[in-house]
Chains A and B, each alone.
Chain A
């Protein structure tokens, strides 16, 4: 019982990181129907930014969040205006954007490699190894903090999408861009802002990752792949669905050790991905667009 409890809490904490990791990818897909393959690269770049801020200015990773959000919002807007904007919409554009953004990822990785070499970097905070006791079991303070931030981000995103003009515009564009143009919404502007927001969220994920893990320029690949799994599990493009998808993946991975050898835990997610795509292409909980 105690073991199950410990594992369940660990899975919940992991789900926090996983959902933060996938928000950006899900948002951009939901609105622009573009799979942002540069997502993993942004996560990595943000981890490096956080490390630089920590190293040179002694800024704690969690305090670096606003800086990363602003910086990567800018990066996202730049990528959209400089590159993505020129692609056609629709199925042809979907394939081209995959390849284009993959190119962006390669460039980001190369820049990081040139600036910081391929060596592992880590951020050591005072609380990196400290723990708190919950019902007799100990849990990592850093992981709890990451979970908290992910939860706050979930609520903030939800409020943004439901309570603001911009949010309503984003949801409207996600459902039907053509009628939005007729209704006087500047669709192109919504696209820019969404891409910026989605990239900023990837930046957030990078900050959180840097507080937990060591990273190199190739960091972000498995984050990208798992983010796919999560947005598919949650039904591509719904924010609450993403959080649920993250929880499903985290629980499946953590508890899979009772069924398969620990080595195969990451395969569990990918198998789940294929099965869900084939059986329920709308995700485990049906297709919902940014609700």
Chain B
């Protein structure tokens, strides 16, 4: 907990103290948002074990509602993000409440359907989303990318806090039980439907707020981009690379994702799909806990001489 606060303060002050370029500064701000979104995906995908291929739906709903609200009511952007997020959460419940009864691949397939149907309908509904021409935010009232760095940080802090809460509280135990066996969880008094709905709502809301952030960052959004299948896949990649079902893994995943996206791709654009593909395959086969698992393994190896490995392993696991 103390480490978390220290990290937050350091990141808050970093741009003021360190001589980083404006470009890097902006990218880091955007990365905070991706981290928050990947964490939010992980609550459902990792903690509950329900892999969603449709989270772009909430990202898009959040983004478009935020822009619409800004344009129509001229509300401050933070309020607009929040409204967008809440509506995205409600939208998640709308399709998620009935589909969360499904488990494993059935649920995943349903989310693909939800994501694609949402994308098509949003593109068609040009009265709301601007259709294929998209929507622009007036540049004057929009926060600059420079300012957005700190808002991205707040977003990330909130997502991290929720992650810890979901894992450490009673709910966390309930979710673990649901992940293991839904019916058995019901037998020991866990209200699986309620718990999953809560997680889905939180996940949808935070991803929706991320959509609002992204809209402010880009100052222009269009439905084909916001609701794209690739975006849903991006959330999955970040969580899996970082360590699915770990508390903070998606953060590292988001960093890797952005590094690949921003720095490697500008130079090796013809190889990026394959790069993700190979990464995914290697992770699934050799280190299902992603970077987090890898880090644990390395730490264990370093400490091995000092402590018996079995104890070290359990000790590590309990802190994560």
Contact = CB atoms under 8 A, between A and B. Distances in A.
Query: Are A and B in direct contact (Cβ within 8 Å)?
Result: yes
Contacts of A86: 285
Interface stretch (B216-224, B270-278, B303-311): B270-278
Nearest to B271: A110
B284 A94 contact: no
Of listed B98, B110, B278, residue having the most chain A CB within 10 A: B110
Interface in B112-144: 112-114, 116-117, 120-121, 124
Interface residues of B, number: 41
Tell me if B's interface is mostly helix, strand, loop or mixed: helix
Contacts of B113: 225, 228-229, 270-271, 273-274, 277
Given A99-B284, A225-B116, A228-B112, A104 B277 contact: yes
Interface stretch (B79-87, B100-108, B203-211): B100-108
B120 A277 contact: no
A230 B109 CA distance: 11
Interface string B275-287: 1111111001100
B117 A107 contact: no
A11 to B, nearest CB: 20
B146 interface: no
B106 to A, nearest CB: 6
A258 interface: no
Interface string A81-105: 0010011000100111011101111
A6 interface: no
A96 B277 contact: no
A103 B236 CA distance: 12
A263 B112 CA distance: 19
Interface string B230-261: 00010010001000000000000000000000
A108 B277 CA distance: 9
A99 B236 contact: yes
Contact of A263 (B99, B109, B124): B124
A274 B118 CA distance: 12
B229 interface: yes
B278 A107 contact: yes
Contacts of B112: 225, 228, 270, 273
Contacts of B120: 263-264, 266-267, 270
Contact of B49 (A95, A221, A281): A95
A113 B229 CA distance: 19
Interface in A231-247: 232, 236
Given A229-B113, A277-B110, A103 B280 contact: yes
Contact of B108 (A35, A83, A264): A35
Q: Is the interface of A mostly helix, strand, loop or mixed?
A: helix
Given A98-B108, A278-B98, A111 B240 contact: no
Contacts of A4: none
Contacts of B98: 278
Contacts of A263: 120, 124
Interface string B281-303: 10011001000000000000000
Given A103-B277, A106-B273, A274 B103 contact: no
Nearest to A273: B113
A274 B277 contact: no
Contacts of B103: 91
A87 B286 CA distance: 10
A106 B280 contact: yes
Contacts of B124: 261, 263-264, 267
B165 interface: no
B277 A270 contact: no
B104 to A, nearest CB: 5
Given A87-B284, A103-B280, A225-B116, A273 B109 contact: yes
Nearest to A260: B124
Nearest to A103: B280
A109 B280 contact: no
A1 interface: no
A109 B99 CA distance: 31
21 contacts: A35-B108, A87-B284, A94-B105, A99-B51, A103-B281, A107-B274, A109-B277, A110-B271, A110-B275, A113-B270, A114-B270, A114-B271, A225-B116, A228-B113, A263-B124, A267-B116, A273-B109, A274-B113, A274-B114, A277-B109, A278-B101
Interface of A: 29, 33, 35, 83, 86-87, 91, 94-96, 98-100, 102-111, 113-114, 221, 225, 228-229, 232, 236, 261, 263-264, 266-267, 270-271, 273-274, 277-278, 281
